[in-house]
Structure 1
Amino acid sequence: MLRLFLTGCLLALVTACATVAPPPPAGWQALAPGLAHRAWSPWPDSDVQALRVDLQHVRVTQSPPAEAGQSVDQMASGRGALASINASFFDREFRPRGVTVTEGQPWPALLKAPASAKDPLLACDTQCVIRFDAPPTPEPAWRMAVSGTPWLVRDGHARTAEDDASCANLCAYTHPRTAIGLDASGRHLIVLLAAGRRGDVKGLTLAQTAQLLRELGAVQAFNLDGGGSSTLLIQGESRLPRPFNEPALRRVANAVHFVAP
């Protein structure tokens, strides 16, 4: 009987330990179990922030179509979220570019822009993956999907200044940035945002963004909408410095939220 009791206690202890999020790596500040934050200036004229999201302890969700055209801080879907970021590129009617899914429901924009299926995307069901061969319609098991463009890190290879030369305005010029990636284990999302258009703080090129994501451990990553759209909320508070010419948060098509399970 004592042996059974001790065995049961040991199993309970192991199970409890398995559900506790490990501490973040050095240089990261824990915000909540499974969510860490980092802010630094990798170059003298840069202002960068990042999130490290443990997908075993934090759930990734997306705002619904009904909230398109609102700023991220206005979206009811993000109330109570640990953190939120802006997401897709969009048109004047706030229709997101690329495959987009919220709580298993594809957005209507899919019917209007099938060509955007070439854009890389993050898709989540029981786990999250980054796809560079996105299908024209989402897979039935996807509970959320968000698209962006272009690729930043692919199979561990970060894009370079030579890659940026083919899309100078978007890629090679410095802008505020929002980007997302996955580490080799598939367990951690790496989210990177850069402030810009703030006097000496211009922003980053995509090659610089890719370099930082790779240094943070991303082996697959892509670019989300940036410029004045770039937004980071931590527990509802705006944390990314705004461009001088656009102090208020911009209205966007959608947002990605990181929430406690």
Structure 2
Amino acid sequence: MLERLKLIPILLLLAAASVSCEKDSVAQAPVVTIESPLTQRIADSAGVIAQVFNDTLFEVTPGIMETDIHYLSTEGYSMHVFILEIDTKHPGLKLKAGTPYNASAYAMQTVPDMAKYLENGNTKVMAAVNADFFNTSTGEPRGIFVKDGKVIKTTWANTRSATFMGIMKNGEIVIGDRAEFAEKQNDLQEALGGGPMLVRDNQILTQTDLTVEPRTGIGMNAQGKMYFIVVDGRSFYYSNGITITKLGQMLKACGSTIAINVDGGGSSTFMIKHPLADVWQVRNRPSDGTNRAVGNAWMILAN
């Protein structure tokens, strides 16, 4: 009994030492250095990031910067988001509607395959994201469709098909709603539909869709900066997805004064021409496990 009592102070000392070591270990945890200004903006103001695990920033080509963020959401889930910041006023960059086989007919094709039909000797496809929702049997877009100055489709499938992005014949990029499309359609060179408006006049709009999914969004501001964003989802340990409200918060934090949601889920595709190799690389992890054939996409071209 006496020997057991003598052991108690020793065990308490060992326990105290163990706790002290744990505290020292916590205190010495590495501090994450944030690389991208966009990461910092989102962490500071969007209300979606609890902790940044790591981020990267690199130039795809002059005028296009990519930010990748691995973070813990405010709900406590692992997340990955990919963002392109595009200076649309940079000489030699151009926005183009990508379609299957670069044709006006309805069909489906993966985003990298669309790029093959669009690229030529004088122009390279440097980046792209998927665009409008579409009929998965025929490839017909849910929203409007204008290609090479020809208005092909002016109808909308449902209330979710509420917005569009387009390039005017004078080169101006426009994001708007159904009424604005009706007003501008004959002056558009390219246009593809979109889903709900997320940000307008620098204000985040209220959304009724509260589902958590992989998401793709597009935003821009008056200074000519455009943001393509893909948030991966449907993978618990990798990335869980996001609501469209939080997607809007992220786009506003990046600098968008107007932003729309486009097709998500397994369609969400974030592609670049990799700066270290002359290949197209899908940077995100589409939730289907492979690149989905989609109805159309937005491509950034460089001369």
TMscore range, shorter length: 0.7 to 0.9
- Name stretches of at least 5 consecutive residues in structure 2 with no aligned partner: 1-35, 40-56, 274-279
Of 140, 144, 150, the residue aligned with 2:186 is: 140
- Secondary structure of 1:197 counterpart: coil
AA aligned opposite 2:95: V
1:71 to 2:110 alignment: yes
- Residue pairs, 1:59-98, within 5 angstroms: 59-63=94-98, 64-66=103-105, 68-75=107-114, 76-79=116-119, 80-91=124-135, 92-98=137-143
Counterpart for residue 47 of structure 1 = 80
In the alignment, the residues of structure 1 paired with residue 97 and residue 183 of structure 2 have an alpha-carbon distance, to the nearest angstrom, of 17
- What one-letter code is carried by the residue in structure 2 that aligns with 1:197? R
**TM-score w.r.t. structure 1 length?**
0.78
Measured after TM superposition, the shift of residue 123 of structure 1 is: 1.6
Give TM-score, length-normalised by structure 2: 0.68
- Residue 113 of structure 1: CA displacement? 4.1
Match of 1:31 among 50, 60, 64: 60
Tell me: CA distance 1:256–1:84, structure 2 relative to 1, closer, same or farther (3 Å): same
Q: Which residue of 2 aligns with 1:240?
A: 284
* Further displaced range: 230-239 or 25-34: 25-34
- Quote the sequence identity (%): 27
**Contact 1:198-1:242 within 8 A present in 2 as well:** no
Distance in 1 of aligned mates of 2:193 and 2:84: 19
**Does structure 1 retain, via aligned residues, the 8 Å contact 2:67–2:83?**
yes
1:6-49 deviations in Å (ceiling 9; x for gaps): xxxxxxxxxxxxxxxxxx96764221111111011342521101
CA-CA distance at 1:238 after TM superposition = 1.1
Larger Rg: 2
Give the structure 1 partner of residue 236 of structure 2. Answer: 199
Provide the residue aligned with 1:124 in structure 2. Answer: 167
Classify the secondary structure of the residue corresponding to 1:211: helix
Contact kept in structure 1, 2:151 and 2:185, CA below 8 Å: no
Task: Tell me the distance in 2 between the aligned counterparts of 1:114 and 1:39.
Answer: 33
Q: How many residues align?
A: 225
CA distance in 1, matches of 2:88, 2:65: 12
Shift of 1:143: 1.2
Give the structure with the higher percent strand: 2
